[in-house]
Structure 1
Amino acid sequence: MDLELRHLKIVRAVADAGSLTRAATVLGLAQPALSAQLKRVERALGGTLFVRGREGVRATALGELVLERARVLLPAVCELQEEAQRFARQGAQGYRLGGTHGPLLGGLVDRLADEEPGVPVTTYTSWSEREVAGSVAEGRLDFALVGVCGESAPPEPGRLAWMEVARDPVHVMLAEEHPLALERAPRDEIELAELAAEAWTDVPGDGCFGDCFAAACVRAGFTPVCVYETDTASCVHLVQVGRAVGLCRATFPATPGVVTRPLAGTPLVWRHVLGWHPAARVAARAVEVLGHARAAHAEALGRAAGGGSALRAAPAPPPAPAPAPVPVPASGGLRPAAPWPAA
């Protein structure tokens, strides 16, 4: 019998589980079937791999040798398979972009299409930044254009390289008939505490923004009455009819019936980031794509309802450096939570 990878997986599973019974459960096999397979492996290798006892199994010297090699070979083969799949999926020299909600993905598509006519550009969107980043890590997408709250780490920090596109203060959306919007001398900023009695609306997400918003409210001396989590269009509608106030990025476009204002002291910040796999063929174009994403952000900010304040609160990032992973700050154990700021 020739030794195969599945045989090494059996040996590793038995060693990790410490007993044939537990290993059979992990592998989804009946124990007699696992015992028979292990005996065939031992015959192929020329000796006993495990000593059976009342407390389970213990690797022999030969078993330790095989395990040592298996723990090197199995991850290497898995990495080879992932890399081959990623290479095969890349196909034509186009761009496969993934993003969450907001104006930057559309702006990036527009700039790439203008810069490289005829080069295919495809997009994928999701509420989940983790899903988008996972698709890049697995080779189904080339770039992820997503956002993260404050200094929290982007997803897949060990597999993807990340660069910051820009950072925006989070603004509040008010109905144009809201008392704070109707003041005779409109203020540049609104204190979060002034919104303590309001209902809120926001879009879903799987980052820590919900926790950070709740913490900012506690620091301001209140707990939100309620938060309507829904799609962007519904968020805007609830604000327009005065049912709730909303949170939005500084790039939120001017919208009829809606007024946006920065929050005093900038209690919440949103970072736009671009991610890619360092081993992918498109990694050589990461600096170029990053430049286009930053230009798309600048254009969106120029069209935004209150874009000028964003520039004052968050200076533009420096020119794009050579592609390299950004330092990933510790996340501080923040739990995944709901809303992100609206588009």
Structure 2
Amino acid sequence: MELEVRHLRVICAIGESGSLTKAAKALRLSQPGLTAQLRRIETMLGGRLFERTSGGAVPTAFGELVLTRARAVLPAIDDLTQGLRAPGRPHTIRVGSVNAPLLPGLIAALRELHPGSRVTTITRGASTRLVELVDSGHLDLAVVGDCPSFELAARPGVVLHPVATQPVFAIMPEGHRLAAQHEVTLRQLAEEDWVVPPPDDDRVREYWSTVFHAAGLTIRVLHEVEGPVLIDLLLAGEGVSLCQATFRQQPGLAVRPIAGDPLWYRHLLAWRREGPVGGEIAGPAARAYADVVGRNPVYPAWLSSSVASEVRW
């Protein structure tokens, strides 16, 4: 067995996500299949690359060395396959995104601004990793986000352009007692069980906890899951959570503002200063965001309310 590019992508996917489960999902592999691949790669390289811990997959010293080499090699391979194109082959614009509502509109705008180009996308849970991928040249553009006091760190080679700042709302089953109210308080939420995503590099969970702690409260986590499973548990009445103000309305769920608007989230674009995508995308991104403001009726009502507070950033 010889080392191949796909093996480097497996190693990097595990290193980026810190989890074999997340890496398998990103690579569209089964977890047992990915685990078997990793074992074969480790056997071929002659050393253990990751230690399995309760917190995920942590690189060994040897694994850190291999990751450093792989991250240096893969951009060059991508440049070879995407930059040195045969005549007539379309240019590729590589886009990354967290869970952001403006991505579809952004893709449409990129196709209009760069006719004939292919637009490819990947998603990641943490904004920090997406900014790293833009900085390293793996991505041309990324939709990212941050929170007050937990802003994304600036990088010399990356432009971080704010698109929109919005409040964070509470989300719960539509039959929940708090759903009968026009808005809920932090104290009321602290009295409930919670369904939350796992902590990640973007530190959103840390921001939530900090805001509750400042009010003398704590979040009582019952379930720590993500994606569709989180929504399913909310629908099953297993607790409450928080969501973006632009969360798409779903039957069975109720979205409510939080009194005093104590929590905020900011959408940003990240692009390489020397990359193919630049400031021309800022206006279309703002319009893409405006198009999704009405995805649930609560946010437009909040925006038009005389009590809607100014952003505290």
Shorter chain as denominator, the TM-score bin is 0.5 to 0.7
Asked if the contact 1:169/1:314 (under 8 Å) is kept, the reply is no
Asked if the contact 2:98/2:124 (under 8 Å) is kept, the reply is yes
How far is the alpha carbon of 1:167 from its aligned partner? 0.6
- Identify if the C-alpha distance between structure 1 residues 255 and 117 changes in structure 2 by more than 3 Å, giving closer, same or farther: farther
Number of matched residues? 230
How far is the alpha carbon of 1:253 from its aligned partner? 0.5
Matches within 5 A, 1:126-275: 126-182=124-180, 186-187=181-182, 189-204=183-198, 205-226=200-221, 228-275=223-270
| Cα shift readout 1:222-248 (whole Å, capped 9, x = no counterpart) | 222215332221121121121010110
User: In structure 2, how many angstroms separate the alpha carbons of the residues matched to 1:194 and 1:155?
Assistant: 33
1:21 match: none
User: In structure 2, how many angstroms separate the alpha carbons of the residues matched to 1:224 and 1:230?
Assistant: 15
How far is the alpha carbon of 1:87 from its aligned partner? 6.6
1:288 match: 280
**Which of 269, 274, 289 is 1:297 aligned to?**
289
Q: Normalising by the residue count of structure 1, what TM-score does the alignment of the two structures yield?
A: 0.60
Asked if the contact 1:98/1:123 (under 8 Å) is kept, the reply is yes
How far is the alpha carbon of 1:156 from its aligned partner? 4.8
1:51 match: none
User: In structure 1, how many angstroms separate the alpha carbons of the residues matched to 2:214 and 2:118?
Assistant: 48
Q: More deviation in 125-134 or 251-260?
A: 125-134
Match of 1:231, SS state, is coil
User: In structure 1, how many angstroms separate the alpha carbons of the residues matched to 2:197 and 2:253?
Assistant: 17
How far is the alpha carbon of 1:160 from its aligned partner? 1.1
How far is the alpha carbon of 1:259 from its aligned partner? 0.6
How far is the alpha carbon of 1:150 from its aligned partner? 2.0
Flag structure 2 segments of 5+ consecutive residues without an equivalent: 1-72, 84-89
2:5 match: none
Letter in 2 for 1:208: R
Q: Normalising by the residue count of structure 2, what TM-score does the alignment of the two structures yield?
A: 0.65
How far is the alpha carbon of 1:165 from its aligned partner? 0.7
Asked if the contact 1:103/1:300 (under 8 Å) is kept, the reply is yes
Letter in 1 for 2:280: E
**Which of 112, 119, 129 is 1:121 aligned to?**
119
- Identify if the C-alpha distance between structure 1 residues 263 and 165 changes in structure 2 by more than 3 Å, giving closer, same or farther: same
**Which of 109, 112, 122 is 2:110 aligned to?**
112
| Cα shift readout 1:22-57 (whole Å, capped 9, x = no counterpart) | xxxxxxxxxxxxxxxxxxxxxxxxxxxxxxxxxxxx
Match of 1:123, SS state, is strand
User: In structure 1, how many angstroms separate the alpha carbons of the residues matched to 2:76 and 2:309?
Assistant: 41
Asked if the contact 1:172/1:246 (under 8 Å) is kept, the reply is yes
Asked if the contact 2:135/2:155 (under 8 Å) is kept, the reply is no
